[in-house]
Amino acid sequence: MKLSLLASLAIALSSVSQAQDAPIDPAPRLISAIEAKGAHYSELAKQIWSFAEVGYQEVKSSALLATELETAGFRVTRGVVGIPTAFVAEFGSGKPVIGILGEFDALPGLSQDASPLQKAIVANAAGHGCGHNLFGVGSAAAAIAVKEWMTANRITGTLRFYGTPAEEGGSGKVYMVRDGLFKDVDAVIAWHPGDINNINGTSSQGNITGKFRFRGVSAHAAGAPERGRSALDGVEAMDAMVNMMREHVPQDTRIHYVITNGGRAPNVVPDFAEVYYYARQNDMKILDDVWDRILKAAQGAAMGTGTTVDFEITGSVYPVLLNEVLGKVMYKRLQQVGGVKYTAEEAAFAQELQKSLGAQARPIESAWTIPAWEFGGNSPGSTDVADVSWNVPTVQIDAATWVPGTAAHSWQAVAASGMSIGAKGMMVAAKTMALTAADLFAAPATIVAAKAELEQRRGKDFVYRTRLGDRKPALDYRK
């Protein structure tokens, strides 16, 4: 009887000890911390939305985010890797090192009021058609909440926020990866605005981008055309040859271009013209071959038109390397956080905006649902988050910041990114990222498993090399 009593007491004491040692779910504290500052974060996002600064020119946007993190107690290093608007904010020390990515660049020519009807604020000006005003602020909100949680609970490790400019074609993160800013990181957390709540379970397309500059001889187009050699002819000849290529490349290849300079007056044979190209493919070997053919088309166009051509590579990214281990962790937290609920006013905004979407519109209820997670496959877009993912296990949430059915890089995306619908989606992302980061700090085994998956997916002989080589960032690619 005595032994039985002692055994019972030992079991009871063991249960108490286990209860005391059991980790407390950080969700209530992190979620309430983010919600308490929701109005403030919405205002920050609206400020960056109004700045609408394009790649490598995000001076005010970068400074706003860096100052916000510095005020919250992070150690901030500005102007990293030779990019004035890139920065790193850090808290804590030692392992693990968990990174959170933040973007803040806008897109040219997408100026739009926060209205369900198309209305530019300034004609031909930039706008946040990919919601990066929300991206940077939502990531900062998550980082600040996690930092406060770490302090309150004496959590060891390093939390690092990366302020990453020029995602839209400038490959800002690639230079940060190339120069070693992620070499000691154990896992990276990111998100992206969208029209659905989900964990990104599809890869992306790699891309190579660059500008082709043709030079010829100017002359009077009517009085002495025989003396001229049109640089615009060179551009148009190149475009014609590349367009004929489309029939003879794999179906999932994408090639697109804009003529950024075609001359100034029809009666002057232009001695300078420029065309800006993107090529995309899921397979980097195929992409390299396609790009080589584009280069040869440029050279042939120059020969055929009596002009010369030079080329500047402005960006290049890998396809995203997925991580299922981290995806499962984040999906569980997204289910806990839930989606976006509209007010009556927001529902009216959404319904009015959807009139411009036509057949692409989807039920607005999908903004507050969490669909079943699917892992695998490819999507047509490209991102420099991909280069991070080949070096560090990376996971990303997509949050419903836009009216369901909205496409990225559209005026409809700009409109929602500048009002409460966008801000609510941003909060879903911030909470989910914060909870995921806390889980990773508390679970070393998850990080070990994620790293093992990374090694398996990229192959034992993989060596990271960027197509950008040792070139400096193209800080003027938007000028």
Which helix H or strand E contains 17, and what residues bound it?
helix 2-21
Residue 28 has pLDDT above 50, yes or no: yes
Which tens digit of pLDDT belongs to each residue from 34-54? 999 999 999 999 999 999 999
Which tens digit of pLDDT belongs to each residue from 58-116? 999 999 999 999 999 999 999 999 999 999 999 999 999 999 999 999 999 999 999 99
Q: Would you say residue 230 lies in a domain?
A: yes
Residue 58 sits in the same domain as residue 46? yes
Residue 404 sits in the same domain as residue 390? yes
Q: Which of 385, 389, 330 is nearest to 142 (CA)?
A: 330
CA distance 285 to 171: 19
Residue 108 sits in the same domain as residue 40? yes
What's the pLDDT score for residue 24?
81
Average pLDDT of the residues of the chain: 94
Domain range for 166? 25-203+319-458
Q: Would you say residue 4 lies in a domain?
A: no
Residue 234: give its domain's CATH number: 3.30.70.360
Residue 197 sits in the same domain as residue 210? no
Residue 431 has pLDDT above 50, yes or no: yes
User: Rounded to 5 degrees, what angle do the CA atoms 65, 68, 70 make?
Assistant: 110
Residue 67 sits in the same domain as residue 184? yes
Residue 253 sits in the same domain as residue 276? yes
Residue 324 sits in the same domain as residue 189? yes
Q: Would you say residue 310 lies in a domain?
A: yes
Residue 344 has pLDDT above 70, yes or no: yes
Residue 142 has pLDDT above 70, yes or no: yes
Residue 323 sits in the same domain as residue 313? no
Average pLDDT value for residue range 246-266: 97
Residue 42 sits in the same domain as residue 187? yes
What's the pLDDT score for residue 73?
98
Domain count, the chain: 2
DSSP letter, residue 174 = H
% of the chain residues with pLDDT over 90: 93
Confidence of residue 23 (pLDDT cuts 50, 70, 90): low
Q: Which of 135, 145, 156 is nearest to 27 (CA)?
A: 145
% of the chain residues with pLDDT over 70: 95
Which tens digit of pLDDT belongs to each residue from 284-338? 999 999 999 999 999 999 999 999 999 999 999 999 999 999 999 999 999 999 9
